[in-house]
Structure 1
């Protein structure tokens, strides 16, 4: 590999690491149940907060509340996955690079 190509790859690696760090520190917010449940998740998939409207709490039907919480969390995780694909896709030109990420 020639030195110029090696420098380009090293720069790309550095830029990718920076982009991944920025993504990991980003906060994604999702709601479910018409806003009754709100969750905030960092790009590294750390749940920062979970807010449940008091009107969403029905002791007679906890299953609905559990499903609503899961829906909000799963939506936030999908947002993170899409953002990650977009960011990393900008480095790979949209071509998958299995095992790289």
Structure 2
């Protein structure tokens, strides 16, 4: 059986690794696209939007509603990819930990 000090030390190590993983998520970039690539949104795995690229062909006033819809779709696509990248990073960090099934990090 492990002592309280060993358990606290393990908890501290887990916390340190979690902080590193969280910091790393802001360096991973994903790109969401819509309209066959006419609108692209770049986001970090933490969900921070870092760029939007709109094809010049969409910049006509008559295309305003479609452009707004495409931007929303691209942001949602980027968010989905950011969530997947975040989950993959967190899985790497927790793969060696003896966590009970269904236990989610961060707390």
Normalized against structure 1, the TM-score is what? 0.82
Unmatched segments (≥5 aa) in structure 1: none
Unmatched segments (≥5 aa) in structure 2: none
Q: Retained in 1: the 8 A contact 2:45–2:82?
A: yes
Instruction: Label 1:5 to 1:87 Cα distance change in 2 as closer, same or farther (>3 A).
Output: same
Instruction: Label 1:28 to 1:94 Cα distance change in 2 as closer, same or farther (>3 A).
Output: farther
Normalized against structure 2, the TM-score is what? 0.78
Instruction: Label 1:84 to 1:45 Cα distance change in 2 as closer, same or farther (>3 A).
Output: same
Instruction: Label 1:63 to 1:81 Cα distance change in 2 as closer, same or farther (>3 A).
Output: same
2:104 alignment partner in structure 1: 97
Q: How many residue pairs were aligned? A: 100
Q: Retained in 2: the 8 A contact 1:41–1:76?
A: yes
